[in-house]
């Protein structure tokens, strides 16, 4: 049976999360988003059978292809970069984590308004300043928060960020703390629903939870090494 050790892996993950919540955190509940990118559709079914209800994909096309192959009602999250010409394909996603620019948020808002129901999105922020990562510069968030209030086709649900690969703990806390501050800025500006904080992956999710993460995006720690 594929992914037969997933229940045990998930139990270990939940234990780490509980310990991190005890050490720090903000009294928040934490949802595990099982990142099934590059794994087969059987990973989605295995995640559901193990008790997970949320899965994340980087690409719209890969997610839609897997969705057609599974019959379990998971909540699909888009966690990777979204091209503006694909915004009409996100209707079936529970949450878009990667609203990373004003041009993309405008396109998403236009689609949300056209379909008569706002899209739920997270504002992606690039706290680390890495050129290889997309997202808003934190200094721009206060101004953008005000502008986003005028876009009726969007519901800003919070913030997403990524830390540098192999960052030390101090850097992780700076990045995750910076994302948390961006979420506070959004709420102060009037985005009352901006309570989610998507941050932390397989190598750093414990620190992310200590810093307030409500959504952790986990792949290899749950499913093992990705297919070559």
Q: Is residue 68 part of a domain?
A: no
Residue 182 belongs to what domain range? 6-35+83-223
Displacement of CA 62 from its chain's centroid (Å): 17
In a domain, 44, yes or no: no
Which DSSP category does 85 fall into? Answer: G
- Tens place of pLDDT for every residue, the chain, 228 residues? 579 999 999 999 999 999 999 998 889 999 999 999 999 999 999 999 999 999 999 999 999 999 999 999 999 999 999 999 999 999 999 999 999 999 999 999 999 999 999 999 999 999 998 888 899 999 999 999 999 999 999 999 999 999 998 899 999 999 999 999 999 999 999 999 999 999 999 999 999 999 999 999 999 999 998 876
How confident is the model at residue 120, as a pLDDT?
98
Nearest to 119 by CA among 145, 146, 149, 92: 92
Tell me the CATH number at 145: 3.20.20.10
pTM of the model as a whole: 0.96
Q: Look at the chain and report how many structural domains it folds into.
A: 1
CA distance 17 to 11: 10
Q: What per-residue confidence (pLDDT) applies to 1?
A: 54
147 token code pair: 């502008």
In a domain, 179, yes or no: yes
């Amino acid at each position: 049976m594929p992914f037969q050790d997933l229940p045990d892996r998930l139990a270990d993950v939940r234990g780490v999360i509980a310990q991190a919540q005890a050490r720090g955190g903000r009294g928040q509940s934490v949802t595990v988003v099982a990142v099934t990118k590059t794994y087969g559709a059987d990973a989605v079914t295995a995640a559901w059978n193990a008790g997970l209800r949320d899965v994340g994909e980087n690409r719209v096309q890969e997610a839609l292809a897997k969705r057609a192959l599974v019959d379990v009602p998971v909540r699909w999250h888009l966690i990777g970069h979204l091209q503006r010409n694909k915004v009409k394909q996100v209707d079936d996603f529970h949450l878009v984590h990667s609203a990373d620019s004003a041009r993309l948020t405008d396109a998403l808002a236009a689609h949300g308004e056209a379909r008569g129901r706002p899209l739920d999105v997270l504002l992606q922020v690039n706290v680390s300043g890495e050129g290889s990562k997309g997202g808003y510069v934190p200094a721009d968030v206060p101004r953008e928060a005000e502008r986003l209030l005028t876009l009726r086709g969007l519901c800003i649900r919070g913030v997403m960020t990524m830390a540098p690969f192999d960052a030390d703990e101090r850097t992780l806390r700076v990045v995750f703390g910076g994302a948390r501050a961006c979420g506070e800025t959004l709420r102060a500006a009037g985005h009352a629903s901006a309570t989610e904080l998507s941050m932390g992956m397989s190598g750093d999710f414990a620190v992310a939870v200590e810093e307030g993460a409500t959504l952790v995006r986990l792949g290899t720690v749950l499913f093992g090494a990705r297919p070559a």
